[in-house]
């Protein structure tokens, strides 16, 4: 894998820019970092603030801090990072496989 950074913008249900997720492919690992956006809904001191980093090294997931107990805010950040990771994995698998929902098959 080459060092390539992808940028994902996370919008709320009113299409307000809430978060930015950056994904960097490094040698044998993929690093996901979530930041608050620079949207005015965030207090000025919290704009573009780093929230959480998750690293997938192919043998598991690691975080930039120890997580024994998780608050609802961190749970939300984690769900977003996992959603981005899932999206990228599906895009990569799409190149190798065709995945069809069994409900979409029609018997003739």
Look at strands 61-63 and 17-26 and give their pairing. Answer: unpaired
Give the CA distances from residue 26 to residues 4, 34, 57, 84, in Å, rounded to whole numbers and listed in that order: 7, 17, 9, 17
pLDDT digits (tens, 9 = 90+) for 58-86: 899 999 988 888 889 989 999 999 989 88
pLDDT band at 99 (very low <50, low <70, confident <90, very high): low
Answer with the residue of higher pLDDT: 99 or 45.
45
Residue 69 confidence (pLDDT): 85
Answer with the residue of higher pLDDT: 83 or 3.
83
Q: Which helix (H) or strand (E) holds 91?
A: helix 72-96
Domain of residue 53 covers: 4-104
Neighbour order of strands in the sheet with 17-26: 4-11, 17-26, 29-36, 50-56, 61-63
pLDDT digits (tens, 9 = 90+) for 38-48: 999 899 999 99
Contact 35, 11 (CB under 8 A): no
| Number of domains, the chain | 1
Residue 1 confidence (pLDDT): 41
């Amino acid at each position: 894998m080459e060092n390539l950074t992808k940028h994902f913008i996370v919008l709320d249900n009113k299409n307000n820019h809430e978060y930015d997720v950056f994904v960097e492919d490094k040698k044998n690992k993929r690093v996901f970092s979530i930041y608050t956006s620079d949207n005015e809904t965030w207090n000025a001191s919290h704009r573009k603030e780093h929230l959480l980093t998750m690293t997938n090294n192919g043998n598991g997931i690691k975080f930039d801090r120890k997580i024994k107990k998780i608050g609802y805010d961190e749970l939300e950040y984690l769900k977003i990072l996992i959603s981005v990771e899932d999206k990228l994995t599906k895009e990569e698998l799409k190149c190798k496989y065709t995945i069809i929902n069994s409900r979409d098959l029609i018997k003739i």
